[in-house]
Structure 1
Amino acid sequence: MFRGFLAALGFLTRFGPAAGAREADFAASVAWFPAVGLVLGGVAVAPAQALYGGSPWVCAWLVVVLDLWATRGLHADGLADVADAWGSMARGERFFEIMKDSRVGAFGAMGLFAVLAGKLVLFAALFESGRGWAVVFSFVVGRACVVWLMGMTRHLGRPGLGRLFLDGARPGVMAAALGTAAVVGVFLVPGRGLVLALVCGAAVAAMLSGLARSRGAVNGDFLGACIVLGEVAACLGMLA
């Protein structure tokens, strides 16, 4: 159990040991994704609140930067790749060829700007309304969303690291991810905001699942995109 948590921490952040992971660790780590979101959110939000609690925009910017540093920008990179491939209107293997291109195209740049600017604005709004700890919850929801995306697309995995995670997203793990997010939300965002955050996050997972089905497969870029879009969706739900 502890090895699964450490593996998830290493896969999703720079806080855990990424080297030396066995193939079985990928699947075992999936159940711990929401818990890693809680750790990452706490590490990003706590110093921002402590140092700049009276300046919501500074807090928000610092959380965005710490998030990019802690995740090595991998999830944001996945979003850019999915945005480029989606914007091209390509299908089949061409869709995934565009994803693999290391160059960022116009749609990727627009997607990154929209999401990072969106996180900055939404985080600032939560800090300004005195709900800074709700930002932590958005990190939990984003990682619960990706567990659900993996569960809905387990049969669509392409060769690569992303495929190794899919086997871990079994129905029991999906239920546990939702339960973990709900329990954390009771403490951080009770009431209507909790429900709307989860509903908006589920919509993101469903949207990306539909895109993967229409293109015939899912890969690691989809998973990264789901995490960041799930964070944005959760914030929108909490602020609705």
Structure 2
Amino acid sequence: MQTVRHLLLAVQFFSRIPVTGRLAAWVGWSPELQRQSAAHLPGVGWLVGLWAGLVLAGTGWALQPNPWMPLIAAALATLGTLWLTGGFHEDGLADVADGLGGMVPPERALEIMKDSRVGAYGVMALVMALLAKVALTAGLVAVLQPASAAVLIGCVHVLSRLAPLALMRTLPHVGLAATSKTLHIAGRQLDGKGLLAGTTWCLPALWLLCQLHTPYLLPGMLTAGAVTTWRVQRWLRRRLGGMTGDCLGACQQLSELAMLLAALVTMERLA
């Protein structure tokens, strides 16, 4: 039952899915519960991925003869995930781009990242990330067809949410978080048990990806996600000496884009 409470708390924090009333009272809240709930971020990815997959497959079915179908389906699926999550991770990407886009000292970078206003670096990063996501998703729909692409996109949402947990496991928190709850998420390193819980959520996604057309797809995607996470980890350690809550969202977004790109390149090479 404790695992269910952690999952529901993660759903409440990382998405717009309501957990209210008596259910919210049963779940409760404490700094320790909030910290432990972060381990179930890939579980939230299942909900986001399912929603994106349904939108993608449904749009593909409705517009199948239309030559614009891949682009429309990709745009609507991306829009659907933004609505469901409130752009939580995208906001982190924009803040990190603002803070680390210029060559400023770590203290100044942390001040910029705390500012709720979005600057030029943040706008550019956000626009390019969303355009890349739509383009890569449309390419996968065109190559795989909507149903298979929906499965792949859903799995990417799950697997990419393991990347922030790797940061929480390997980097200390630096600076002040924007809110007290964010501090409880990112303020302490994730323990091995939490990382194991997050990895367990990813196992069904690995199995589903193995059922797709080629055995080369999964290794390429995992390598791309792992290398991207490793590079982000090294970059944050060098520039900030650790990570913030915004860094977790940025890492998830970059890992997601890397896995989508690896999947598209693999399928195009084998087509």
TM-score, normalization by structure 2 = 0.81
Contact 1:157 1:218 in 2 (8 A): yes
Contact 2:174 2:241 in 1 (8 A): no
Summarize the Cα distance change of 1:195–1:180 in structure 2 as closer, same or farther, 3 Å threshold.
farther
Contact 2:110 2:175 in 1 (8 A): no
- Could you list the per-position Cα deviations for residues 142-164 of structure 1 after superposition, in whole angstroms to 9, with x for gaps in the alignment? 211111111111x3343334432
State the number of aligned residues. Answer: 239
Q: Which moved more, 1:7-16 or 1:184-193?
A: 184-193
Amino acid in the other structure paired with 2:195? M
Distance 1:205 1:107 in 2: 21
3-state DSSP class of the match of 2:19?
coil
Contact 1:81 1:99 in 2 (8 A): yes
Alignment-derived partner of residue 268 in structure 2: none
Contact 2:52 2:153 in 1 (8 A): no
Question: How far is 1:196 from its partner?
Answer: 1.8
1:38 lines up with 2:55 in the alignment: no
Using the aligned pairs only, state the percent identity: 31
Contact 1:34 1:144 in 2 (8 A): yes
Distance 1:158 1:101 in 2: 13
Q: 2:33 pairs with 22, 25, 29, which one?
A: 25
1:140 lines up with 2:158 in the alignment: yes
Contact 2:9 2:34 in 1 (8 A): yes
Alignment-derived partner of residue 105 in structure 1: 119
1:11 lines up with 2:28 in the alignment: no
Distance 1:189 1:126 in 2: 16
Distance 2:174 2:101 in 1: 21
Question: How far is 1:77 from its partner?
Answer: 1.1
Amino acid in the other structure paired with 2:175? R
Q: 1:226 pairs with 251, 254, 257, which one?
A: 251
1:156 lines up with 2:173 in the alignment: yes
Contact 1:81 1:221 in 2 (8 A): yes
Q: Which moved more, 1:213-222 or 1:156-165?
A: 156-165
Distance 2:115 2:208 in 1: 42
Question: How far is 1:189 from its partner?
Answer: 4.7
Contact 1:13 1:70 in 2 (8 A): yes
- Could you list the per-position Cα deviations for residues 90-146 of structure 1 after superposition, in whole angstroms to 9, with x for gaps in the alignment? 122101111122222221111111110010011111111223110111111221111
Distance 1:226 1:143 in 2: 9
Q: 1:207 pairs with 221, 228, 231, which one?
A: 231
3-state DSSP class of the match of 1:129?
helix
Amino acid in the other structure paired with 1:6? L
Q: 2:199 pairs with 178, 193, 215, which one?
A: 178
Amino acid in the other structure paired with 1:237? A
Distance 1:30 1:168 in 2: 11
Alignment-derived partner of residue 73 in structure 2: 59
Structure 2: runs of 5 or more not aligned: 266-271
Structure 1: runs of 5 or more not aligned: none
